[in-house]
Amino acid sequence: MKDAMIDLETLGTCNNAVIIQIGACYFDRATGKIGKKLLINVDVESSLKKGFEVEAHTLYWWLEQSEDARQSLIKKKGVSVIAAIKKINTFLKDSECIWSHATFDYVKIEHHLNKLGIKPTFGYRSPRDLRTLVDITDIDLSEYHFDGVQHNALDDCLHQVKYTVDCLNKIKNGEKK
């Protein structure tokens, strides 16, 4: 499998926002079969010490999320931001395509790698955007049942794989918008 899906949970929307959870998985773009998976909680204090930022509006947003979502961020102890970014970087080394909300998740990973002085293991041509894919295939995301906990980064990845595969198959089969 050469396609990877990533999702981040953060404490802000800017590229320098603290990342509190990273989810990722490999998947087969034709079948949706899931390969290797990764879920990492990130220690907030280690991120603050490295100069990453918390935005108040996102803290308020998190207070409005489900108890399950908030608990997924604290049940498992977080690793340092350096260890987390090294883990996701290593995880993505075999990917050819990295799917995400490319203007959110991917650019934050890239910013963290740059700021921490870690060389990416993946190519600069690897990002793929989910929003563009959904737009050009005109699928209705409300038709996709969510399994798991919304705003748990790995559960979000698994959900995103479902509609990504459908979009790619729609394109492959020549279905028009």
pLDDT in tens, 83-99: 999 999 999 999 999 99
**Gap between the Cα atoms of 77 and 169, Å rounded:** 38
Mean pLDDT throughout 156-166? 98
Residue 20 maps to a domain: yes
User: Tokens for 139?
Assistant: 């699928």
Split at pLDDT 50, 70, 90, the class of 17 is very high
Residue 177 maps to a domain: no
pLDDT at 29: 96
Statement: residue 176 has pLDDT above 80? no
Residue 111 maps to a domain: yes
pLDDT at 120: 98
- Total tally of structural domains belonging to the chain: 1
Mean pLDDT throughout 43-55? 98
Residue 15 maps to a domain: yes
pLDDT at 177: 57
CA 5 to chain centre: 6
Residue 148 maps to a domain: yes
**Side-by-side strand order, sheet with 19-27:** 34-41, 19-27, 3-10, 97-100, 127-129
Residue 71 maps to a domain: yes
Overall pTM surpassing 0.85 (yes/no): yes
CATH code (residue 154): 3.30.420.10
The average confidence (pLDDT) of the chain is 96
Residue 32 maps to a domain: yes
Mean pLDDT throughout 141-163? 97
Residue 34 maps to a domain: yes
- Could you tell me what percent of the chain has a pLDDT over 90? 96
Its domain, for residue 122, covers 3-172
- Measured CA distances, 113 to 13, 74, 87, 96 (Å): 17, 24, 11, 18
pLDDT at 174: 86
Split at pLDDT 50, 70, 90, the class of 175 is confident
Mean pLDDT throughout 138-144? 95
pLDDT at 123: 92
User: Tokens for 50?
Assistant: 């490295």
